[in-house]
Amino acid sequence: MTARELPSQAARALWYVAPGEIEIRDEAVSRASEGAILVKSLFSAASRGTERQVLNGSIPASEWQRMRAPMQAGDFPFPVKYGYCAVGRVEQGPRDLTGREVFVLHPHQDWFVAPGSMAVPIPAGVPARRATLAANMETALNALWDGDAGPGKKIAIVGAGVVGLLVAFLAAQLPGARVTISDTAAERADIAKSLGAQFANPNDLAGAGADIVFHTSATESGLATALSACGFEATVVEMSWYGNRPVAIPLGGAFHSQRLKIISSQVGHVAYSRRLRWSHRERLEVALGLLNDARLDRLLGEDISFEDTPIRLPTLLNAPSGLAPIIRYS
């Protein structure tokens, strides 16, 4: 297929249509108008956190508007075309973008048209498949800003999923920082150590005396572990999103006497400490550049073909543990 065969060619897109159900639907695609780009998808990543909530219909009604992806179609709860980790090659568009591989906050779709301003060129040295981690890297970077992580600090991360491991990767590069990541999946220890962090069983994290604890496990037990790892006047940066699930927080014990603090971190806004000086695009450009490290390939999950997503993706998203599923386009 070539760009010249469009605009009559129909594209195909992934839609969440009912709890636990995915369909591939035809989409009309036209030639790129002025200022727009036509992209042939190479890979996209499915967020195990957010897209699991979308798949299961767990987005609370209060968040239906705030949780819209930049190029989402349809409305929550269903049917909805969702996703924000697409990497592809520009087939039509401005001369400086045509033929380049780009990252776009677009749902899972084999061909798509998007505003050229949304395309961020992938830096040299970052393979297209690894570039699907850009949105997660942006989340991790924003969290370090929110938590005021810096050199010499004692930093703990609870939850060694993709985002937690990216937080550990960034934190371990801070001069003098002592970084430990914890998870019930002991097999993540080798990945954590390859990224420069120590690994601990959750039961061994209590009393760690951390200055900052990043919580990414999306479990009540993980949040309790995060609080137990805090030192005096430490901060827990809550990165988990629980959808419509109520969460119990253990605020007894030493919470008040230790003067602990819990703050939220969410990527929809640039961290307050940078917001007046940084745009969303600048943050995303930095995140893509930070992916120029081959060690991060270990954070990429199992490849599945786009055609197989209706059958395989629900199982992968709802698995007890796993890394980011990567959708491969033919």
Dump pLDDT digits (tens) for 142-184: 999 999 999 999 999 999 999 999 999 999 999 999 999 999 9
Give yes or no: residues 68 and 149 share one domain. no
Q: Are residues 15 and 86 in the same domain?
A: yes
Q: Residue 126 is encoded by which pair of tokens?
A: 């970052």
> In sequence order, which ranges of 30-133 are alpha helices (DSSP H)?
50-55
CATH label of the domain that carries residue 68: 3.90.180.10
CA distance linking residue 301 with residue 38, whole number of Å: 27
Question: What is the reported pLDDT for 9?
Answer: 61
Contact predicate 183/156, CB 8 Å = no
Answer yes or no: is 55 within a domain.
Answer: yes
Residue 172 counted as domain residue:
yes
Mean of pLDDT over the chain: 95
pLDDT at 273 over 70: yes
Record the tokens describing residue 296, joined without a space. Answer: 């991060």
Query: Is pLDDT at 4 greater than 60 in this prediction?
Result: no
Domain contains 131: no
187 shares its domain with 97: no
Residues 246 and 141 in one domain: yes
Residue 46 burial by Cβ neighbours in a 10 Å radius (0-12, 13-18, 19+): buried
Do 13 and 75 lie in one domain? The reply is yes
Confidence (pLDDT) at 1: 40
Domain shared by 257 and 153, yes or no: yes
Total count of domains within the chain: 2
The residues facing 327 across adjacent strands are 44, 304
Same domain, 170 and 234: yes
pTM of the model: 0.95
Q: Look at residue 138 and tell me whether its pLDDT is greater than 50.
A: yes
pLDDT digits (tens, 9 = 90+) for 83-101: 999 999 999 999 999 999 9
Q: How far apart are CA 27 and CA 14, in angstroms?
A: 10
Instruction: Supply the CATH number for residue 211's domain.
Output: 3.40.50.720
Give the domain extent around 103. 3-125+292-328
Assess whether 116 and 147 both reside in one domain. Answer: no
Residue 315 has pLDDT above 80, yes or no: yes
For residues 111 and 150, state if they share a domain: no
pLDDT in tens, 33-57: 888 999 999 999 999 889 999 999 9
24 in a structural domain: yes
Instruction: Choose the final residue of a domain: 212, 245, 264.
Output: 264
282 found inside a domain: no
pLDDT per residue over 228-238, tens digit each? 999 999 999 99
Q: 205-239 burial, b if ≥16 CB within 10 A, otherwise e?
A: beebebbbbbbbbbbbebbbbbbbbbbeebbbbbb
Q: Looking at residues 193-199, what average pLDDT do you find?
A: 98
- Convert the pLDDT of each residue in 108-124 to its tens digit: 999 999 999 999 999 99
With a cut of 90, say whether residue 322 has pLDDT above it: no
For residues 262-266, average pLDDT: 97
Does residue 317 belong to any structural domain of this protein? yes
- Whether the pLDDT of residue 281 is over 60: the answer is yes
The pLDDT value recorded for residue 5 is 47
Domain membership of residue 198 (yes or no) is yes
| Same-domain check for residues 115 and 173 | no
Residue 270 lies in a domain: no
Residue 113 and residue 171 in one domain: no
What's the average model confidence in pLDDT over 303-322?
93
Q: In a 10 Å sphere around its CB, with 0-12 CB exposed, 13-18 middle and 19+ buried, how is residue 134 labelled?
A: buried
For residues 189 and 78, membership in a common domain is answered with no
